[in-house]
């Protein structure tokens, strides 16, 4: 067993032995297995209406044209996010991705499950990590979110369909154009998809990753693609 796994196990064991405190603020938590206090959960902010009907981006005026989704492939029909990526949600996402706290997928999926527009008969497809990154982390946070969401919305998960061919690195410092070039052909499929698929990820940053994954699935045979993420980054101005 690797050191990182031992540390993770020790942290998990500690949670069960000590009185529970919130991962983010250290306040006491209610149920024995709760990871976040009710105060921290209440600070997660739902995205306001009105939103772009396609990509779910809040728009100050619904008659304004959206700058995010015009370049998406035709069959990528809609994306929605549960909460803003901000100081309230960011620490939980960080613990989910880097701290080994995969059980945080439960309260996050609870928010994602409240979103409307769950296409009937669809399958949930978590955005994959590259093999190397998944080995380092021990799990794919998007897959944990998809599994928790599956229990709530009653749609099955297919985690083997989409593969990540290469690392796309940290994209936060790239321009939108550079991000699109960076992500191009990042995915492949293991078999020909059919029907309607719902991509699942932790954060919607520019939508470029989701659009590229959707394009890969549509080119391989999927009829329609939707997407849902826990959080959405506020678009940078300019
Ligand atoms: Zn808290
Ligand atoms: Zn849009």
Q: Are residues 135 and 20 in the same domain?
A: no
Q: Are residues 111 and 20 in the same domain?
A: no
Taking the centre of ligand 2 as the mean of its atom positions, its distance from the CA of residue 118, in whole angstroms, is 18
Locate tokens 């996010």: which residue? 81
* Cα–Cα nearest to 102, from 8, 1, 209, 7: 8
Beta bridge partners of 80: 228
**What does the pLDDT read at residue 238?**
46
Taking the centre of ligand 1 as the mean of its atom positions, its distance from the CA of residue 91, in whole angstroms, is 10
Q: Are residues 37 and 122 in the same domain?
A: no
Model confidence over 165-220: pLDDT tens digits?
A: 876 655 556 666 676 666 777 999 999 999 999 999 999 999 999 999 999 999 99
C-alpha to C-alpha distance for 232 and 238, rounded to whole angstroms: 18
* Cα–Cα nearest to 57, from 71, 77, 78: 78
The pLDDT-based confidence of 18 (bands split at 50, 70, 90) is: low
Residue 69 CA, distance from chain mean position = 18
Q: Are residues 8 and 96 in the same domain?
A: no
C-alpha to C-alpha distance for 140 and 146, rounded to whole angstroms: 10
Q: Which ligand is nearest to the CA of 57?
A: 2
Q: Which ligand is nearest to the CA of 53?
A: 2
Q: Which two tokens stand for residue 226?
A: 């939707």
Q: Which ligand is nearest to the CA of 58?
A: 2
- The reply to whether 96 falls in a domain is yes
C-alpha to C-alpha distance for 99 and 91, rounded to whole angstroms: 10
Taking the centre of ligand 2 as the mean of its atom positions, its distance from the CA of residue 73, in whole angstroms, is 12
C-alpha to C-alpha distance for 134 and 125, rounded to whole angstroms: 16
Model confidence over 85-114: pLDDT tens digits?
A: 999 999 999 999 998 899 999 999 999 998
Q: Which ligand is nearest to the CA of 55?
A: 2
Q: Which two tokens stand for residue 106?
A: 């439960």
The stretch 32-46 carries a mean pLDDT of 90
Q: Are residues 23 and 63 in the same domain?
A: no
Surrounding ion ligand 1 within 5 Å at CB are: 22, 24-25, 27, 37, 40
Q: Which ligand is nearest to the CA of 26?
A: 1
In Å, how far are 81, 163, 212, 228, 234 from 41, measured between CA atoms? Answer: 16, 32, 31, 19, 20
C-alpha to C-alpha distance for 181 and 198, rounded to whole angstroms: 24
Model confidence over 58-89: pLDDT tens digits?
A: 998 878 889 999 999 999 999 999 999 999 99
- The parent domain of residue 129 ranges over 46-232
Taking the centre of ligand 1 as the mean of its atom positions, its distance from the CA of residue 104, in whole angstroms, is 13
Count of CB atoms situated within 10 Å of the CB of 129: 19
Counting the structural domains of the chain, the total is 2
Model confidence over 139-163: pLDDT tens digits?
A: 999 999 999 999 999 999 999 999 9
């Amino acid at each position: 067993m690797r050191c990182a796994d031992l540390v993770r196990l020790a942290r998990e064991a500690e949670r069960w032995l000590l009185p529970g405190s919130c991962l983010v603020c250290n306040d006491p938590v209610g149920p024995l297995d709760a990871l976040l206090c009710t105060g921290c959960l209440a600070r997660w902010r739902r995205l306001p209406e009105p939103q772009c009907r396609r990509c779910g981006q809040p728009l100050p005026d619904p008659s304004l044209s959206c700058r995010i989704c015009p370049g998406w492939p035709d069959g990528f029909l809609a994306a929605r996010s549960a909460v803003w990526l901000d100081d309230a949600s960011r620490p939980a996402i960080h613990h989910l991705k880097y701290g080994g706290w995969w059980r945080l997928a439960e309260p996050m999926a609870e928010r994602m499950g409240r979103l409307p527009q769950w296409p009937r008969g669809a399958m949930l497809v978590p955005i994959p990590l590259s093999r190397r990154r998944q080995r380092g982390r021990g799990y794919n946070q998007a897959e944990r979110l998809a599994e928790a969401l599956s229990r709530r919305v009653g749609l099955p998960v297919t985690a083997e369909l989409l593969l990540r061919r290469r690392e796309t690195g940290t994209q936060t410092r790239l321009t939108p154009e550079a991000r699109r070039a960076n992500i191009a052909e990042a995915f492949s499929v293991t078999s020909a998809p059919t029907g309607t698929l719902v991509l699942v990820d932790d954060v919607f940053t520019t939508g470029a990753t989701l659009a590229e994954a959707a394009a890969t699935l549509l080119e391989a045979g999927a009829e329609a693609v939707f997407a849902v993420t826990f959080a959405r980054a506020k678009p940078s101005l300019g």
